[in-house]
Amino acid sequence: MEELVLKAQHGDVQAFTDLILMLKHDLYKIAKMRLVSNDDIDDAIQETMIEAFNNIRKLKKIESFKPWIIKILINKCNRIYRKKKMKEVTFEDDINNYLDRECEHLSESDIDFYLLIKCLNYEERIIVTLYYLECYTSKEISQILNINENTVKTKLARAKIKIKNNYKEESI
Torsion from C-alpha of 121, 87, 90, 158, nearest 10 degrees: 10
pLDDT in tens, 78-131: 888 888 764 444 444 454 454 444 444 445 455 566 677 778 888 888 898 888
Distance CA 5, CA 147 (A): 26
Determine if residue 120 is left, alpha or beta; phi over 0 gives left, psi from -120 to 50 gives alpha, anything else beta. Answer: beta
Residue 61 pLDDT greater than 80, yes or no: yes
Q: Measured between alpha carbons, how far is residue 148 from residues 128, 140, 144, 164 in Å?
A: 16, 10, 10, 24
Does pTM surpass 0.75? no
pLDDT of residue 53: 92
**What is the DSSP secondary structure assignment for residue 120, as one 8-state letter?**
S
Share of the chain residues as helix, strand and coil, in percent rounded to the nearest 5: 85, 0, 15
- Helix residue ranges per DSSP H, 33-105: 38-55, 65-84, 91-102
pLDDT of residue 76: 92
Domains (range + CATH), the chain: 1-87 (1.10.1740.10), 91-172 (1.10.10.10)
> Rounded mean pLDDT of 47-76?
91
pLDDT of residue 99: 45
pLDDT in tens, 4-48: 888 988 988 999 999 999 999 889 988 888 887 888 999 999 999
**What is the DSSP secondary structure assignment for residue 20, as one 8-state letter?**
H
Distance CA 40, CA 46 (A): 10
Q: How many Cβ atoms are within 10 Å of 57's Cβ, its own excluded?
A: 10
pLDDT of residue 134: 83
